[in-house]
């Protein structure tokens, strides 16, 4: 199933189908898995409640999502009495994570992973903030799973706080759910805000939840499968290796906190949602590119920086590591300011590598145009800044001791003083008026 997803994502970039598998050997019909939620821009738009016309162009879709962020009014979730998630409730000796067709996603994974396209719900011990984050879960046995949360992620900050106090953290892990919750869990919703409240804002109504039977946490009433349990300080098991999102098997097994499962809830004929990830372009890249680009655009707006024209996190950089921003330069230093804010704001800081700023005549999502700017408007001595010891992780094959990495910032804009003087060479291209005239004249013949 993982291999078919990888092969279709590779063969049909931007157009691959979502794959729903049924009749998995060894499992009853109806116990299904779903892969490739976000392999097209249209499915991202549909999930985000954005008109499909906006999905014709990458930057247009990012802009539409960023506009939603600018005007977002979070709507709190609300508890309902019942929901399909309560159709089956397993506790005690009935708990069995292998009841579902849990895949070994990549050929070299040591174990089967039940949580990949998942929403891990944790509660801040100091306030009424339920965070949803996508963090992977290996299965160890029927009632023990993993939960790998990297430093700095919201769920990790929650867990660190419990552990600093010597306390167990309760967790509810949703492994089959509404694609909107998965998309939000896998993107950078601001600190202190529940992804449920953003989901409510996007849907225009409160997200319906029920109380988890073990944790009491709000869990989606319409979810497919929810696993609840405890993570206790010092209760460690070897986790990984797993084929990672940067395209490598990065580490030998590492001892990490595990989850002792206390309940499983699932609807009849449940769908296990999966996103194994692999070398680019994988089935999660458009999710990360659209959500990450919109969040960075919004951070630039909040920092007060004017005239951002487009943002795109490129597919080849896994939607995280090759960020291009186009601007209309308004003042000396504008381009450099954009580079530093975009690379250091919360949405751009984690695991970045390349950040490039270009003028407004360059489409930041068009790699040929970006390369043209880099090869004609960028000087390798004057137009580079380096950030050292930035926020990275063991997923990076070049990670430095202490989980840091170095970043490159490239100013590929026309030097501002030359733009002002008008002495930068004129671009060879058909002018706008002439283009319009020729398109009209040759309509239906050449165009
Ligand atoms: C398919 C997929 C799997 C992911 N797996 C992990 C993971 O195992 N651990 C982790 O820390 N982040 C993982 N991430 C990234 C986080 O989900 C992402 O950084 C998100 O912003 C975390 O939520 P938070 O900001 O609320 O912490 C994954 C993302 C995707 C799309």
Tell whether the model's pLDDT for residue 252 goes beyond 90: no
User: What string of DSSP letters covers 274-335?
Assistant: -----SSS-TTHHHHHHHHHHHHHHHHHHTT---EEEEEE-GGGTTTSEEEEEE---STTHH
pLDDT of residue 133: 98
Tell whether the model's pLDDT for residue 51 goes beyond 90: yes
Report CA(149)–ligand 1 centroid distance (Å). 8
pLDDT of residue 89: 98
Q: Using a 6 Å CB cutoff, which residues line ligand 1?
A: 116-117, 131, 133-136, 148-150, 153-155, 186-188, 275, 277, 284, 287-288
Tell whether the model's pLDDT for residue 250 goes beyond 90: no
Q: Which atom of ligand 1 is nearest to the CA of 288?
A: 31
Q: What is the mean pLDDT of residues 182-190?
A: 96
Tell whether the model's pLDDT for residue 5 goes beyond 90: yes
Report CA(135)–ligand 1 centroid distance (Å). 5
pLDDT tens for each residue of 190-224: 999 999 999 999 999 999 999 999 999 999 999 99
Contact 252, 220 (CB under 8 A): no
Pull the structure tokens for residue 101: 């067709």
Report CA(150)–ligand 1 centroid distance (Å). 8
Q: Ligand 1: which residue has its CA nearest to atom 30?
A: 186
DSSP code of residue 387: E
**What is the number of helices (H) and of strands (E) in the chain?**
12, 21
Q: What is the mean pLDDT of residues 346-352?
A: 96
Mutate to test the pocket of ligand 1, among 129, 130, 186, 280 (most ligand atoms within 8 A of CB): 186
Q: Residues near 238 by Cβ (< 8 Å), separated by ≥ 6?
A: 253, 254, 255, 256
pLDDT tens for each residue of 290-344: 999 999 999 999 999 999 999 999 999 999 999 999 999 999 999 999 999 999 9
Mutate to test the pocket of ligand 1, among 9, 44, 135 (most ligand atoms within 8 A of CB): 135
Question: What domains lie within the chain, and their CATH numbers?
Answer: 2-273 (2.30.110.10), 303-421 (3.40.1670.10)
pLDDT tens for each residue of 366-416: 999 999 999 999 999 999 999 999 999 889 999 999 999 999 999 999 999
pLDDT of residue 371: 98
pLDDT tens for each residue of 227-243: 999 999 999 999 999 99
Q: Which atom of ligand 1 is nearest to the CA of 136?
A: 8
Report CA(132)–ligand 1 centroid distance (Å). 10
Report CA(428)–ligand 1 centroid distance (Å). 44
Q: What is the mean pLDDT of residues 21-43?
A: 98
Tell whether the model's pLDDT for residue 251 goes beyond 90: no
Report CA(424)–ligand 1 centroid distance (Å). 44
Q: What is the mean pLDDT of residues 118-134?
A: 98
Q: Residues near 432 by Cβ (< 8 Å), separated by ≥ 6?
A: none
């Amino acid at each position: 199933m993982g291999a078919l997803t990888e092969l279709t994502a590779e063969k049909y970039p931007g157009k691959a189908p979502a794959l729903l598998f049924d009749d998995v050997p060894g499992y009853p019909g109806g116990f299904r898995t779903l892969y490739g939620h976000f392999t097209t821009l249209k499915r991202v738009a549909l999930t985000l409640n954005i008109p499909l016309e906006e999905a014709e162009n990458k930057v247009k879709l990012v802009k539409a999502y960023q506009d939603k962020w600018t005007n977002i009014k979070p709507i709190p979730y609300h508890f309902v009495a019942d929901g399909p998630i309560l159709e089956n409730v397993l506790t005690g000796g009935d708990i069995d994570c292998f009841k579902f067709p849990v895949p070994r996603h990549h050929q070299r994974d040591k174990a089967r992973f039940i949580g990949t396209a998942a929403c891990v719900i944790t509660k801040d011990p100091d306030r009424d903030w339920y965070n949803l984050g996508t963090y992977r879960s290996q299965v160890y046995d029927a009632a023990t799973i993993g939960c790998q949360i990297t430093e700095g992620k919201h769920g990790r900050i929650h867990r660190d706080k419990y552990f600093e106090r010597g306390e167990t953290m309760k967790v509810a892990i949703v492994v089959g759910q509404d694609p909107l919750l998965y998309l939000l869990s896998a993107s950078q919703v601001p600190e202190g805000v529940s992804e449920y409240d953003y989901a409510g804002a996007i849907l225009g109504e409160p997200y319906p939840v029920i109380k988890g039977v073990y944790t009491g946490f709000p869990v989606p009433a319409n979810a497919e499968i929810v696993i609840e349990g405890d993570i206790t300080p010092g209760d460690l098991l070897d986790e990984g290796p797993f084929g990672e999102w940067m395209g490598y098997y990065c580490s030998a097994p590492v001892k990490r906190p595990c989850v002792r499962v206390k309940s499983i809830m699932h609807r009849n004929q449940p769908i296990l949602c999966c996103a194994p990830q692999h070398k680019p372009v994988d089935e999660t890249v458009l999710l990360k590119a659209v959500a990450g680009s919109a969040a960075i655009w919004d951070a630039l707006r909040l920092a007060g920086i004017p005239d951002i024209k487009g943002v795109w996190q490129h597919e080849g950089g896994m939607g995280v590591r090759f960020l291009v921003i186009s601007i209309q330069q308004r003042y000396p230093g504008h381009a450099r300011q954009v580079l530093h804010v975009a690379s250091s704001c919360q949405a751009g800081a984690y695991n970045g590598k390349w950040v490039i700023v270009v003028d407004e005549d360059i489409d930041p999502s068009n790699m040929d145009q970006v390369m043209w700017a880099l090869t004609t408007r960028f000087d390798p001595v004057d137009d580079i800044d380096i950030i050292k010891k930035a926020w990275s992780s063991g997923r990076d094959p070049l990670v430095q001791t202490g989980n840091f990495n170095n970043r490159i910032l490239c100013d590929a804009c026309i030097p501002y003083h030359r733009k002002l003087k008008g002495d930068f060479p004129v671009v060879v291209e058909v002018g706008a008026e002439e283009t319009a005239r020729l398109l009209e004249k040759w309509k239906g013949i050449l165009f």
